Structures are given as structure tokens and as C-alpha cells.
Structure 1
Amino acid sequence: MHFIDGLRAVAMIAVLLCHANLYAGISHIWVHVGGHDVNLANVLQSGHLGVNLFLLLSGFCLYWPFVKGGGRAEPTLAQYAYRRCRRILPPYYVTLAIFGGLGLLQAVTHHQIFHRQLTIHYMEAWLAWHAVMAHNLSPAHVVALDAPLWSLALEFQLYVLFPIFVEAYRRWNKHGVLLLVLALSSLYRAAIPPAVLAVDPLNGFVLMYSVFGRCFEFALGMYVAYVLSRWPQGEKSPLRPVDYVLGAAVIAGGIWRGHVFTDAAWGVVFAALVLAASRASGPIGRFLSQPFLVRMGIFSYSVYLIHQPIIMGVGGKLAGHHLSNVALWAIVIGVLLPALIGIGYVYHLLFEKPFMSTKKPNVASTTASETAGAKTPAVSEAETAPALNSR
């Protein structure tokens, strides 16, 4: 299933462009499309939607071994917990050591490294919250120093819910379980006063994007895995009318009550994308299975861990030179993006790859199972890496 890593790579690039656009101060890049002038800078700001896609992919990849068949034994809870921790924590803790160490250095020497005032007491708290994967619960630390790390805490909390979702899907009707998760998540988000989101953005962020507010996309990804496991290549889609009605209703809800349903609606959109990409003979599947995209997707987690502080530092320097938007864009595309991908790859080799237990997939061509229309292609360990985030 190379398209999974291809999706991860596309989202990673979107995230990098979104943050580069934000921190370099690129206000407008006009392009002529279909007789209209479009500000590409505004389009790039939508790169934050990568979090929706990757929450969905996380649920998909974790649940796939349970539904694909083949007689593979299910892991015990202890085995599951060990594998998840071994997969994500080592490079994550290296990242904490690097940026936490730089923060402590700034607090001690008062030499400006990050664009905020730091004290030793604050950095001790920052390290403690991040070490236990609970920083997404603290408004003072949720987006500090390396902002995208908040989604790793969310991922970790979703990993705790995963066995509950597995058992629920096994015991009860899957549509009913998914609707229940959607209802509970939506009621939780609806209970958050809009005034909190407007007046106190950090508290609003913590409340809105907690595990209770974002569990639907994860559960939806699990449902997509179930659907795909019953959809061999070349055969008719197993989706039923209720699936289309539910998807349309969620998207309509996103238009009607944005702060309640928007993330769920984007989850439905990305679920459709994953299903379309799963068709190896289709244009989306062929594009996302390109070897260069698959390879980038394999080490996208490492790029994600380290990219934002680097972009913020370089972007601040670029913004201070008062360059034109075109010049800034050229530097971002020609220099900054390749540099970040290269640094991320080295980081992957040093701190992530040693903890990936499975062999790297052959990305030179589509696997035999995919080309033959097999029902249960494998998911590599790279594909079970935690989601990227760009908020």
C-alpha cells in the first residue's frame, strides 16, 4: 500500500509550504488560473488540513492488520503498547532533548534563540509536560517552542482509545459505532462556547483539539480500513447508500456549523481520497505510488518533528531582509524546502530508522499483490508512523 506513504509525503510538503509561507511573511503570490487571479499564499494556508488526513491515516494503519485477514495473531495489549512506544518515542525524545536543551540554554544565558522569553522554571515545566505526552492539555505549553508536537500528544491519547474502538467495532454494528463517536465528539465540541475560542485562543485550542474533539477522524480511518479490506482491486465498491448519506450529512454539517463539524467534514473528504487512492490502476493511486513520494513519506515523521523551529528561525531572518514575495518564494522552494527534507532524512537515519522493525518496502514498482488485485496488501511500519500536524 505505497499510496499511504505517498499521501504522507504530499501532506508533509503542504505542511512545510504552509509554515514557510507563514513565518517568511509571504503575503501574496498571484497565479492566473482559469481566467482568475488566485493568491497562492492563501491556498498554502490550508496546509494545516494535513492533521485531519493524518489522524485518519493513523486509525487506518493501526486497524488494517485486524481486518485484512491472513491469520496473523493479534497483539496483546502489552505488545501493542510496546510497539507504539518503540515506534514513536525515541525520535520524539531526541527532539525534546534538542529543543528543550536550546530553550534551557536561552533561559540560562539570556541569548535569544526562540522568539519568546524563557525561564528555567518554564522550561522544566515544558519538558515535564512533553515527556508525559500531556502538553496538549496545557495552554501555556501546547504550541510552545515546537508547536506541531501537540498532535503527538493527541496521537498518544488516541492510541489509548484504539483498543476500545477495536472491541466496539468487533461487538457492534460498525455504522452505529461510528455514528456514536461522531455524536459524542460533536456534542463535546458544541458545548465549547464560541466566545472562549475568540477571547482565549489557547484555552480554546486545548479544548477544541483534545482527544474528545478529534477522535472521529481516527475512528473513521478505522472504518475506511474495514471497507478497503472488503474491496479487492477491480471489483465494485462495497460502500452502501448509508455510507454516502452519512458522508454527505457530515459535510453539510461542516458548512452549517463550522466549529462543530468542520474537522469531521474534512475527515470524510480525506476518507474518500484514501479510498480513491487505493485503486492501483487509477490516476490518484498511480501518482501517490511514485517512488520519490513513497520514499519521502517513509521519513516524513522525522521532518515533522524538527521542521517548525527551523522554518521559524530562517523565516524570521528572511522577513527581516524585506525581500519581495517572489524572491521569498524562490528561496523557500529552491533552498529551504530541499534543506528541510535533507535534514529530516539524516534525522530519520540516525534516530528513527533504528527503531523501525520491518524491512523498507520495495518502492521501485507496485507490489505483486497490488497489481494482481489482491485483497490484503501489507502496511509497512513506516506507514504506521504518527500523524503529521501543521497547526
Structure 2
Amino acid sequence: MPYLPQLDGVRALAIGIVYVAHCGLSHVVPGGFGVTVFFFLSGYLITTLLRIERGVSGTVSLKAFYLRRALRILPPMYLALAFSGLLYGLGLLDWMRVDAVAVLGQATFLTNYPDLLGTEQVLPVPLWSLAIEEHFYLLFPLAYLLWLGRLSPRRAALACLALCGGVLAIRCLNVWRLADYSLNYSWTHTRIDAILFGCCLGLWNNPVIPADRAWRPKPRHVAAAGAVILATLAVRNPAFRETLRYTLQSAALFVPFSAALQGRGWVVRALGSAPMRRLGLYSYSFYLLHPTMIALLLHLRPGLGSLVLIVAGLVPTLALCALMQAWVERPCARLRRRLLDPSGRPPEPSLADPERRAA
């Protein structure tokens, strides 16, 4: 399983887009697109790992999969919630009144369905997107073990593509029947197609699987895909933005991802550079912590401009991420290895968890 440093660069770009948008420039920088990139990457990585595991062992261990995901995701998430809750309790966050039921929804991956809880009064930890990924992690490995993994890669990819079409149909139906269809943005059943498009790349023309003989995009293909993405950002019609936008963006990502996974040019080298790898390594903790840090800075210095806020928030957030990696993520990675391989043999580098190389 090769370690692909350029994927850390993709993570770094995605979290950078989200961070700048949350600092007050969302009217210029599309934070939602950064989340879509994360979704696509998650679908691709998980599907690739499941394919490799099935190819090597003949099956997929659900126990090992859920253990890896739990130790990777839950400890940093609950610490981020505790940190944010502590600052809120000390009166250091100028935030809306927080509802305990809403926080419970955050902790149990229900925050992207606020209508179930009757409230959106949550701590400034953006868990709606993580909830979508967790719902995917809960269902997809089982579906792969029982169904998709038994199909040819091409048919499995077509099945995921058909599911993407179904999700688009639900979004369109919501626009027609709901007075407020803005929650198309955060519901699992209306956004999971961005992850499933990544699964399609994991199943078909996957550059990491030699047997796939993956298609190699040319620069003009990448440029065309970029033009499609830019066009989706330029169209401001609400109905388009909550229906076709996600489909077109996710489908277009198939091309630059394929190019990045196979490329050897300066773009791939830049994505795999040391600073990008480091930010990519921190991306999960950075995503969890940066809204709380932004809220804290705005409490201490109200009226900070967006550019000043971007600079002022970067260093303390990265410092917290470094502590999170040293004290939480690395120990959890070592525990994960001990539980999954009691023999103590050193692991091969992991495609999905490059921090294992640093642990």
C-alpha cells in the first residue's frame, strides 16, 4: 500500500479553503467545496483500502475496520468538544446559547439532522460533515463485504454511480416539495454522493490498483474539469447550488484526482512538499479546532478583519494540532497497531493514515 504524499497536499488545500472561508471570506472562498474535496478523498481512500484488503486476504474484517476508524476519529473529536465546551463555560466564546441536547447530537453524529434535535445551538466544532462521513463508514464496508466486493470493479462503480443519481433525485425533489431546502447542504442522504463519487474512482480506473490500468488525464482534461468546478461556483441560483452543484463538482473531481495520483510534475511535487504534508497531517485536528480558535480570537479582539484573523488564528491552531498529534493521535495509532497486530511487527506505510509513518 503506497504512501502518496500528494494526498496530504490535497488535504492541506481542502482545509485551507475551509479555514479561510470560516475566517469571514466565504463570499470569496467556497468553504463548501473544500468539504466536498474531503468527502471525495474519503470515499476514494476507504474503497481503495477495502479493495486491497479483499485482494490480499479474500475478505474484509469489519471488526478491524471499525476499530481503526474509532481510534482515529473519536479521541480527537471528543477532546475538541471538551476544549470548546470549557472555553464556552468560562465565558470566552461570544457564541449563541448552547443547548445540551444539541451537543449530545454533536457527540453522537446527529448534528447534521438538526430537525431531529429541534435545535442548532451547538458548540463551534463543525461535526456535521464528520457525521456524514461516519454514516458512510458505518454502512459502506458492510455493503462492500456483502455486495459491492462480489461485483466486478466496473459494475461496482456503476452501482455507486446509480446511487449518486438517486441522491441527486432526492435533492431535486426536496427543492420542489420543501419551502426551505437549504439542509440539502448537510443531510447525509443529500450529500453522501460526494463520497460515493470518490468510491467510483476507488473501484474503477484506480491508479493505485495496477490491474485497473488507469486512465491518465491530459492537461486539457484537468483544465476542463477545473472549468466545470469554477462554473458551478459562479452560478448563484439557490436551486442549482443545492442540487446539481454537488453532482457536477464531485464528478469533475474524478479528473484532477486521477491526475494527481499519477502525475510527476511540479504540481504533484508541490502537493507533496514538506509544509503541505505537515498541514495535511494536521488536517483532521485543524478542522475540529479552528472554529473554536476563531471564536476565541473574536471574543478577545472583536472586530478583527478577515485577513488579520487568518494570520492570528493560524499559529495557535497549528500549535494545538501539534499537541493533539503528539499526545493523542500517535498514541492511538500505536494502540491501533498493537490491537490489530499483537505480534508487534512494524506496519507497512498506510495510504489512509500517513501519520503512522511518523508515529
Normalising TM by the smaller chain, what interval? 0.7 to 0.9
Letter in 1 for 2:71: R
Q: Which residue of 2 aligns with 1:177?
A: 159
Counterpart pick for 1:154 among 112, 116, 132: 132
- Summarize the alignment of residues 186-197 of structure 1 with structure 2, pairs less than 5 Å apart: 186-193=168-175, 196=178
- Summarize the alignment of residues 204-223 of structure 1 with structure 2, pairs less than 5 Å apart: 204-223=181-200
Tell me the SS of whatever aligns to 2:197: helix
Letter in 2 for 1:10: L
Q: In the aligned structure 1, how far is the partner of 2:58 from the partner of 2:318?
A: 37
| Residues 168, 243 of structure 2: 8 Å contact kept | yes
Question: 1:42 deviation in Å?
Answer: 4.1
Question: 1:229 deviation in Å?
Answer: 3.9
Letter in 2 for 1:16: Y
| Residues 253, 265 of structure 1: 8 Å contact kept | no
Q: 1:137–1:383: structure 2 CA closer, same or farther, 3 Å change rule?
A: farther
Letter in 2 for 1:311: I
Q: Which residue of 1 aligns with 2:114?
A: 138
| Residues 81, 125 of structure 2: 8 Å contact kept | no
Q: Which residue of 1 aligns with 2:22?
A: 19
Question: 1:8 deviation in Å?
Answer: 0.5
| Residues 192, 208 of structure 1: 8 Å contact kept | no
Q: In the aligned structure 2, how far is the partner of 1:383 from the partner of 1:187?
A: 38
Counterpart pick for 2:37 among 32, 35, 53: 53
Q: 1:117–1:288: structure 2 CA closer, same or farther, 3 Å change rule?
A: same
Q: Which residue of 1 aligns with 2:56?
A: 71
Q: 1:191–1:293: structure 2 CA closer, same or farther, 3 Å change rule?
A: same
Letter in 1 for 2:278: R
**Identical-pair percentage:** 23
| Residues 114, 145 of structure 1: 8 Å contact kept | no
Do residues 356 (structure 1) and 339 (structure 2) align?
A: no
Question: 1:377 deviation in Å?
Answer: 8.7
Letter in 1 for 2:312: V
Bigger shift: 65-74 or 206-215?
A: 65-74
Q: In the aligned structure 2, how far is the partner of 1:71 from the partner of 1:131?
A: 35
Q: In the aligned structure 2, how far is the partner of 1:317 from the partner of 1:311?
A: 10
- TM-score normalised to structure 2 length: 0.76
Q: In the aligned structure 1, how far is the partner of 2:121 from the partner of 2:58?
A: 39
Q: Which residue of 2 aligns with 1:115?
A: 95
Q: Which runs of no fewer than 5 residues in structure 2 stay unpaired?
A: 338-347
| Residues 60, 221 of structure 1: 8 Å contact kept | yes
| Residues 189, 260 of structure 1: 8 Å contact kept | yes
Question: 1:128 deviation in Å?
Answer: 2.1
Tell me the SS of whatever aligns to 2:112: helix
| Residues 11, 283 of structure 2: 8 Å contact kept | yes
Counterpart pick for 1:285 among 237, 248, 268: 268
Tell me the SS of whatever aligns to 1:135: coil
Q: Deviation string for 1:162-217 (max 9, x for gaps)?
A: 12542443344134313311221011111213684xx65xxx44454222111211
Letter in 1 for 2:78: Y
Q: In the aligned structure 2, how far is the partner of 1:213 from the partner of 1:86?
A: 27
Q: In the aligned structure 2, how far is the partner of 1:77 from the partner of 1:210?
A: 25
Q: Deviation string for 1:66-119 (max 9, x for gaps)?
A: 33477256442222222211110011111222223444x36xxxx46342234x
Q: 1:11–1:77: structure 2 CA closer, same or farther, 3 Å change rule?
A: same
Q: In the aligned structure 2, how far is the partner of 1:78 from the partner of 1:43?
A: 43
Q: Which residue of 1 aligns with 2:341?
A: none
- Summarize the alignment of residues 1-391 of structure 1 with structure 2, pairs less than 5 Å apart: 1-22=4-25, 42-44=27-29, 46-68=30-52, 71-72=56-57, 74-103=59-88, 105=89, 111=91, 113-118=93-98, 122-123=99-100, 125-139=101-115, 140-142=118-120, 144-166=122-144, 167-172=146-151, 173-193=155-175, 196=178, 200=180, 204-226=181-203, 227-229=205-207, 237=215, 257-315=240-298, 317-320=300-303, 329=307, 331-357=308-334, 378-382=350-354
Tell me the SS of whatever aligns to 1:192: helix
User: Whose RCO is larger (CA < 8 A, sep 6+)?
Assistant: 1
- TM-score normalised to structure 1 length: 0.71
Tell me the SS of whatever aligns to 1:228: coil
Q: In the aligned structure 2, how far is the partner of 1:383 from the partner of 1:63?
A: 19
Q: 1:251–1:285: structure 2 CA closer, same or farther, 3 Å change rule?
A: closer
| Residues 184, 242 of structure 2: 8 Å contact kept | no
Q: 1:73–1:5: structure 2 CA closer, same or farther, 3 Å change rule?
A: farther
Q: Which runs of no fewer than 5 residues in structure 1 stay unpaired?
A: 23-40, 360-375, 385-391
Q: 1:351–1:191: structure 2 CA closer, same or farther, 3 Å change rule?
A: same
Q: 1:142–1:274: structure 2 CA closer, same or farther, 3 Å change rule?
A: farther
Q: In the aligned structure 1, how far is the partner of 2:215 from the partner of 2:141?
A: 28
Question: 1:130 deviation in Å?
Answer: 2.2
Question: 1:221 deviation in Å?
Answer: 1.0
